[in-house]
């Protein structure tokens, strides 16, 4: 039998905050998004206090702190370093793995045939990461990715369990799928599960029992793949090369409210410049630039959410083009008379930069392209430490500085922030 494992760090950001703060064991911890806007991670204790994922911090702040909860601004230098350590350890244990996100990875357990061996590997893996890095993980093991997700779900909820769950026998799998509602299955979203409910499909087991032909006809081959995976037929392979990004987003909530287009433009320009840097860093080109602006959902005034895109005839990575596209899109997305609280820019429709789709109407001028690339490289390298070269439409203060009042030290990436003995 073939096995895959999904390794998933428990409440990753909150767990990271605990690694160098032994005094915070068993204490409720929440981590906030950029600008300290919303709760993006919660320790088990904070979840037990009823703090919901994504809730705006100001709504729960007073009650949470009064009950002795701890709060941190996000510290991505720390989370990134600890994630890299976890992934390195896993990489040393198996021949093939796929880093699925900052806190999840799929492992190919090709060296293991027996379910009990797979389970033992899971326990070993979990103990090693716990000991070496100090991060608790749970491990779901099964013949397919979709079932490994289910197993990880079970490992999380198993009371007093080892944090490891191995699903193998047909009977065991069926038994567990009956207890899992269809919207919890990997790849089945909220909308899809509503449609499935209408057909009398409520549990993951119901979904597994559905007729494959009906699924393909009524839904999609993607859902067909999910059903096959639930039946133990591996359809989604482990991708050991990391997938290039499909889009780049730069967005911020404003500290105040902005209702004036002239004030908004320089901020959007800042986002566009940052997005352009990210795009070139990823060695991508995009052919669509979109702008979105929104009023605050938590305000009683009238609401407006604007979104508009500018499409280029050929892929670009030049900040000047992005700025031009962003400006046009913003003019269309903007509506007068609303207090905007958030805005952002999105680059999409990527293609690889060495491959330039020739436009029928505008022949690409290679010499100019080379010069433009050179100019962007020069500006990027000059700006790599601190912005020195601004585009004329930018806000002079650069990206509005991210507000992070409660950020923990960069324990592992900065000499001045090392943990200290007493």
Residues 6+ apart with CB under 8 A from 221: none
Site string for another protein, 351-390 (x = CB under 8 A): ----------------xx--x-------------------
User: Does 286 help bind another protein (rule: CB under 8 A)?
Assistant: no
Minimal distance, residue 15 CB to another protein, in Å: 15
Q: Determine the Cα–Cα distance for residues 103 and 8; give it in Å rounded to an integer.
A: 6
Q: Which span sits near another protein by CB under 8 A: 63-71, 85-93, 230-238, 251-259?
A: 85-93
Minimal distance, residue 273 CB to another protein, in Å: 22
User: Does 313 help bind another protein (rule: CB under 8 A)?
Assistant: no
User: Does 411 help bind another protein (rule: CB under 8 A)?
Assistant: yes
Query: What is the side-by-side order of every strand in the sheet holding 70-73?
Result: 39-42, 29-32, 70-73
Nearest to 345 by CA among 391, 299, 290: 290
Helix (H, G, I), strand (E, B) or coil at 314: strand
Q: Determine the Cα–Cα distance for residues 83 and 13; give it in Å rounded to an integer.
A: 10
Among 287, 288, 408, 412, binds another protein (CB under 8 A): 412
Nearest to 412 by CA among 59, 143, 80: 80
Vertex 365: Cα angle to 363 and 366 (nearest 5): 130
Q: Determine the Cα–Cα distance for residues 29 and 44; give it in Å rounded to an integer.
A: 8
User: Does 392 help bind another protein (rule: CB under 8 A)?
Assistant: no
Relative to beta strand 137-142, strand 4-9 is antiparallel
User: Does 134 help bind another protein (rule: CB under 8 A)?
Assistant: yes
Q: Determine the Cα–Cα distance for residues 351 and 286; give it in Å rounded to an integer.
A: 6
Q: Which span sits near another protein by CB under 8 A: 128-136, 231-239, 251-259, 326-334?
A: 128-136
User: Does 131 help bind another protein (rule: CB under 8 A)?
Assistant: yes
Q: Determine the Cα–Cα distance for residues 395 and 392; give it in Å rounded to an integer.
A: 8
Among 133, 137, 148, 279, binds another protein (CB under 8 A): 133
Residues 6+ apart with CB under 8 A from 90: 7, 97, 105, 107, 125, 129
Q: Which span sits near another protein by CB under 8 A: 32-40, 87-95, 199-207, 219-227?
A: 87-95
Q: Please, which residue, 30 or 133, has the CB nearer to another protein?
A: 133
Among 89, 93, 236, 249, binds another protein (CB under 8 A): 89
Minimal distance, residue 23 CB to another protein, in Å: 3
Q: Please, which residue, 37 or 409, has the CB nearer to another protein?
A: 409
Contact 108, 238 (CB under 8 A): yes
User: Does 410 help bind another protein (rule: CB under 8 A)?
Assistant: no
Q: Please, which residue, 124 or 132, has the CB nearer to another protein?
A: 132
User: Does 350 help bind another protein (rule: CB under 8 A)?
Assistant: no
Residues 6+ apart with CB under 8 A from 387: 398
Please count the residues of this chain forming the interface with another protein, following the rule CB under 8 A: 22
Which residues contribute to the site for another protein (CB under 8 A)? 22-23, 85-86, 88-89, 92, 128, 131-134, 367-368, 371, 411-412, 418-422
């Amino acid at each position: 039998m073939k096995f895959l494992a999904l390794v998933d760090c428990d409440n990753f950001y909150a767990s990271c905050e605990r690694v160098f703060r032994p005094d915070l064991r068993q204490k409720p911890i929440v981590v906030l998004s950029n600008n300290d806007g919303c709760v993006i991670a919660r320790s088990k204790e904070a979840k037990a206090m009823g703090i919901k994922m994504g809730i705006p911090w100001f709504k729960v702040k007073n009650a949470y702190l009064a009950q002795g909860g701890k709060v941190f601004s996000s510290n991505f230098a720390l989370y990134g370093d600890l994630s890299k350590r976890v992934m390195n350890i896993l990489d040393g244990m198996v021949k093939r793995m796929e880093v699925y996100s900052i806190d999840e990875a799929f492992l190919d357990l090709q060296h293991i045939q027996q379910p009990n061996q797979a389970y033992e590997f899971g326990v070993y893996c979990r103990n090693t990461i716990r000991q070496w890095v100090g991060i608790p993980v749970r491990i779901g093991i099964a013949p397919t990715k979709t079932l490994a997700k289910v197993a990880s779900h079970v490992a999380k909820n198993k009371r007093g369990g080892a944090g490891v769950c191995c699903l193998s026998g047909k009977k065991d799998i069926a038994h567990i799928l009956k207890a899992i509602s269809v919207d919890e299955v990997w790849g089945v979203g909220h909308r899809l599960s509503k449609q499935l409910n209408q057909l009398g499909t409520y549990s993951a087991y119901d979904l597994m029992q559905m007729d494959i032909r009906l699924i393909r006809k009524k839904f999609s081959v993607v859902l067909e793949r999910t059903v096959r995976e639930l039946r133990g037929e591996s359809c989604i392979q482990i991708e050991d090369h990391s997938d290039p990004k499909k889009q780049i987003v730069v967005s911020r909530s404003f500290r105040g409210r902005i209702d004036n287009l002239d004030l908004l433009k320089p901020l959007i320009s800042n986002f566009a410049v940052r997005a352009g840097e990210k795009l070139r860093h990823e060695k991508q080109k995009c052919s669509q630039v979109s702008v979105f602006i929104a009023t605050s959902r938590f305000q009683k005034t009238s609401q407006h959410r604007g979104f508009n895109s500018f499409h280029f005839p050929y892929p670009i990575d030049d900040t000047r083009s992005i700025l031009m596209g962003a400006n046009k899109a913003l003019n269309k997305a903007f509506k007068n008379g609303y207090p905007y609280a958030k805005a952002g820019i999105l680059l999409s429709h990527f293609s690889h930069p060495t491959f330039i789709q020739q436009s029928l109407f505008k022949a690409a001028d290679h010499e100019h392209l080379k010069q433009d690339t050179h100019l962007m490289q020069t500006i990027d390298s000059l700006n790599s430490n601190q912005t020195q070269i601004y585009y004329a439409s930018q806000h002079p203060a650069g990206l509005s500085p991210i507000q992070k009042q409660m950020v923990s030290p960069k324990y592992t990436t900065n000499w001045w922030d090392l943990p200290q003995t007493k």
